[in-house]
Every structure is written in structure tokens, then in C-alpha cells.
Amino acid sequence: MLSDTDFDLLCKQCDLENFDFFQADKKSVDAELLVLTESELTSLLKKRSVQDSVVLNFLAAGSFNNFIPSIVKARKQQSDNCSQKVYESNKTTVEDKLKSLTEMPCCAVFNDDLTTLLTNLLIDIKRTAKTDNEIVSKILISATVSPSIRNVLRTQLKYHSIDLVVLDYDKNSGKLPLSQLQQFDSDEVLAVVMGWPNYFGLLEDIAAISYWAENKGSQLICLSDPLSLSLIKSPFKVADKLDYILGDLQAVGFTASESGVSPSFLASAKDLSNNLKSVLTTQINHEDLTAIQLSMSVTGLSGFQHSAELSNSTLHKLVDKLTEIDGVEKKFISDSLNECVIEIAGLDIEKGLKMLARHNIIFGYVLQNEYPELTNCLLISCSDQHSKEDVEKLVNKVATMVKNLSTAGCPVKPKFNS
């Protein structure tokens, strides 16, 4: 490193001494924040991290907190000396495993997050459609696709003559009804986007939807994830015709905090078009690829399956026990995967969550903000890290909460504001 003495010497030799660039006003760039030593910083961040540690969290809303083997966590060190050959081989391994999960013939991984990948795919579909680019085309998206994904698409597709139409879901089943699609009779629909499973953890009637899409000449795009695909049939096998499966690779070696920003994959029924390839040029970086490859190799597909089975059996046990409590019900009858919507009738849900916060428990995600009709409804989830005791603790506290809300308040003070 260039020492301060050498720096001064070099400045002299380059006649830079009086250059105002070096007379920088230190105050103008000095942040109010002090420079810390490594030990001071470690202590500060550990304190902040402990402050953020919640004992029991049943809120996922698409970000899964499944176990990550320690070797995957050390991916940075693993990827540092990765040669191009190793990179290519890791990429092929990952893509082959995703092909076997999706059961689709073509698959590629990208550095882009899921929404960027989806945006680029939709733009490409619009570009290659045999319509005038100026004509507004419709892309149908189910209301059961994550609201945050729909919000990003609204920002990103604003300038592309694409009308993003949100299709309402059936209030009884929590799924996209075929009648919503049947309003669109002409060939104006370029693509239909749905989740597998959807945001509520339910499996859509993909056979009927794909039949409709095929007849109308629309492309069908399914959003899924490797954990779900390890447990259920690939939508490609269930649907008559499915064009693409897209998914976030967060569950494959990334923490919950990396959800929405982790790499993604695109599986397709046919070779990716040249147009699409030119849009999707962001190569996945070595570090992330190593994490995915390590996770897939260490855990293996059977490991994913085990993790998904464990999470779901814990979730089902939890839901069964919760619904034994008076007033607590499953909102939608169908079997749910990864996440489940429960309804606590006749209670102020915010008050209830506050009550559970007193015991350091986050019960679930309140759906009412994005789905106003789902009053008193929560989206809950379990990971493979939740124990039987965790489930029992939650069930007991919810039972007490339901009871106490109709009598006197809980004497324990909240540990955080819900």
C-alpha cells in the first residue's frame, strides 16, 4: 500500500501539491459517524443483531428460514479461487438439478432477482409477439401471486405498452377461478402469470388454466421454488402446456434476508430465444453459484425433499392444533404448502399480535393491508427449524390470547411492538 510519506513524495513529483483536490475540506466528507476499530464494530453489530433476534417467528410471506449447512455459509471462502472451468461445471450441475426438479428440458440460472427476470421475460414475450409494439397488450396476473412481485412489475412494465391485469381470486377456494380468465375471449392476452403454490400456499387448477391459455395462444408462466418442487409434481407435468417456470433460489443456500435479492432460475419448454438470451445476460456470480452448488450437493434433492416435508408436516400439525381453538379456522379448505391462511374470527388481530409479542412470538403476516377482504386473517409458515416445543408454545399462547382478549389483558409487557 502506498504509504503517507510516499504519497506526499509522489504528489511533489507530479506537481500536485497545490491542486485544490488535495485541499479537501475534511469536514465536508467526514460523516457524523465515528471510525471504529474491528472489536468496537463487532461488539456494536452483535448488540444490534441480538436486538433483532426473535425467539419464535412464524412469518415467512415467501422468505423461508430453512436450515443452511455451515459449509454453504462459508461460500465466500469456497468461491475465492474458483476457476472458469469450475464455474462452468458448477453451473451445469446446478442447471441439471433444476431441470430434474422442474422436469423441463431447458433451464438457466441468472444473477438477477426473480422480479427482474420475470420483467425481462414479459418484455421479450411482448417484443416477439406478432403485434404492433405500440398496441397495448394484456398480461394477466393472478391476485394470488405475491403482492410485492405485482408491485415491482407495475414499476418495471410502466413504459412497455403492457396492461398488467390483476385477476381476482375465488374467495372460497383462495385460487384463481377459470371464470376470471374467460372474460378475455380475444387474442389480446400475451401471457398468464400464476404461482405454484400461490401466495396463500394453495395449488391452482393449472390443468384448466393451461388448457385455456393454449386455446387462446397465450403463454403460461408459473412462479415456483426448488423447495416446493422437491415435494410436489412439477407444474410442467400437471399442465397440458406450460411455457416457463421461474423461481427465486433463496431456499437453496441463502438466508431469509436474501429473499427477493438472491439469484433466480428460468426453466422453459423450448430453447430460450436469441432475443431472450440477449436480454438475460447477467451471469450468476461465483460466490452465489458456489452457494447453490454446495447446497444442492451437500443437501441433495432428497435433502430438499426432507426439509420441505419437515416444514410442511410441522405446519400441518400447527394448523391442526390451532384450529382446535375456538374461533380459529383455516380460511381455505384445500391442502396448503409452505404457508397457510388462518382466520381468527371476532378478534382484533392487531391486538392479538401485540399480546403474542409480549412473549417474543411473531405469529404471522397480516393479510388485510393487501387483501382488505381478509380481515382477521394471517399467513403463517413453519420452517424445518421449528421444533415440537415451538409449536406447542405458540398454540398455548394463541389459546390464552383468544381467551384473554375477551377478559382482562395479559399482565406481561410486550418485548416488541407488533
Partner 1 sequence: MIKIDSGLNSFKRQTENWNISASDNDDQQSQLSLAGQFAGSNLSNLEGFNSFNPYLPESTTQGLLECIHEVQTMSCSMSGLNAASLVSLSSSQAIFGCLSMINKYHMIKKQARNTLLLCTDLPQVIDVAAHTNLQLKKISLVQLEQNLDSTVAAIIVDVPNLAADEFVSKSVLKLIREMDIIIYMEGSGQYFYSHHSMPKNVTFDLLNLDLSYQCETDSGVYAILSNDKLKSYLPTPRVQQKENSFSLQTQQQNPFSIGPLNTGAGNIKKILRCYVQLRLKGTHGIQQQAMKAIVAAKYFIKKLADSGYSDACFTIGTSGVCFITVNQPVESKLSLEQGLECYKLLGLSADDVLPENKTHFTITLGRLHCLSKTQLDDLIELFLNLENAVEHEKDA
Segment 203 to 222, residues that bind partner 1, using CB under 8 A: none
Smallest distance, Å, CB 96 to partner 1?
26
Contact set for partner 1, span 51-70 (CB under 8 A): 51-54, 57, 59-63, 65
Contact set for partner 1, span 306-365 (CB under 8 A): 353, 357, 362, 365
As a whole number of angstroms, the distance between CA 399 and CA 327 comes to 10
φ, ψ for residue 303, nearest 5 deg: -65, -40
CA atoms in the 13 A half-sphere facing the CB of 93:
18
Written as nine digits, the cell of 153 is 412489475
- The CA-based angle 306-312-314, given to 5 degrees, is 100
Helix (H, G, I), strand (E, B) or coil at 264: strand
Contact set for partner 1, span 254-273 (CB under 8 A): 255-261
Q: 149 or 245, CB closer to partner 1? A: 149
Contact set for partner 1, span 78-117 (CB under 8 A): 111-116
CA 221 to chain centre: 16
Q: 36 or 136, CB closer to partner 1? A: 36
Which of 6, 17, 88, 392: binder of partner 1 (CB under 8 A)?
6
Q: 54 or 333, CB closer to partner 1? A: 54
Q: Which one of the spans 41-49, 133-141, 199-207, 331-339 is the region binding partner 1 (CB under 8 A)?
A: 41-49
**Distance, first Cα to last Cα, the chain:** 49
Smallest distance, Å, CB 161 to partner 1?
10
Contact set for partner 1, span 131-190 (CB under 8 A): 146, 148-149, 151-152, 154-156, 158-160
Q: Strand 377-381 relative to strand 339-344: parallel, antiparallel, unpaired? A: antiparallel
As a whole number of angstroms, the distance between CA 401 and CA 186 comes to 52
Which of 18, 183, 302, 417: binder of partner 1 (CB under 8 A)?
417
Q: Residue 214 has what DSSP assignment?
A: H
Smallest distance, Å, CB 1 to partner 1?
5
Smallest distance, Å, CB 302 to partner 1?
25
Does 283 engage in binding with partner 1 (CB under 8 A)? no
Does 14 engage in binding with partner 1 (CB under 8 A)? yes
Lookup result for grid cell 391486538: 351
Written as nine digits, the cell of 196 is 405454484
Q: 189 or 366, CB closer to partner 1? A: 366
User: Could you tell me the strand order of the sheet in which 377-381 lies?
Assistant: 328-330, 339-344, 377-381, 365-366
